[in-house]
């Protein structure tokens, strides 16, 4: 048995339809914030970094969380920063 293949129709009309679809653009999305007050994710991270730096200045170097907090601030690692801040009882 041989497989039947579909004929390829290459007409100017079909190319025009395809190009019209490609030319469509979507409107820019509205800025969505998951936090109260309408902060963007960047603003939220900056606020956490400021709090982390403030806590680093207050914590003794021997504190077990100070090293992790220092790494989180240096790397701008929001997940690690959230964890350390939560462990210290200082959530934003």
Q: Is residue 64 very low, low, confident or very high in pLDDT (cuts 50, 70, 90)? A: confident
- Return the minimum-mean-pLDDT range out of 2-16, 45-59, 68-82: 2-16
The answer for residues whose C-beta is within 8 angstroms of residue 78's C-beta and 6 or more apart is 45, 48
Q: Could you give the residue ranges of the DSSP H alpha helices within 1-92?
A: 12-23, 41-58, 64-75, 78-87
Cβ atoms within 10 Å of 20's Cβ, excluding its own: 9
Mean pLDDT of the chain: 77
Q: Which residues in the chain belong to E strands, given as ranges?
A: none
pLDDT value at residue 21: 56
Q: Is residue 38 very low, low, confident or very high in pLDDT (cuts 50, 70, 90)? A: confident
């Amino acid at each position: 048995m041989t497989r039947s293949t579909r004929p390829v129709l290459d007409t100017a009309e079909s190319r025009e339809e395809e190009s019209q679809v490609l030319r469509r653009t979507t409107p820019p999305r509205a800025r969505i914030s998951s936090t109260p007050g309408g902060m963007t994710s960047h603003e939220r991270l900056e606020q956490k970094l400021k709090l982390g730096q403030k806590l680093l200045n207050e914590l003794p170097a021997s504190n077990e969380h100070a090293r992790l907090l220092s790494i989180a601030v240096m790397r701008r690692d929001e997940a690690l920063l959230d964890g350390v801040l939560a462990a210290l009882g200082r959530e934003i």
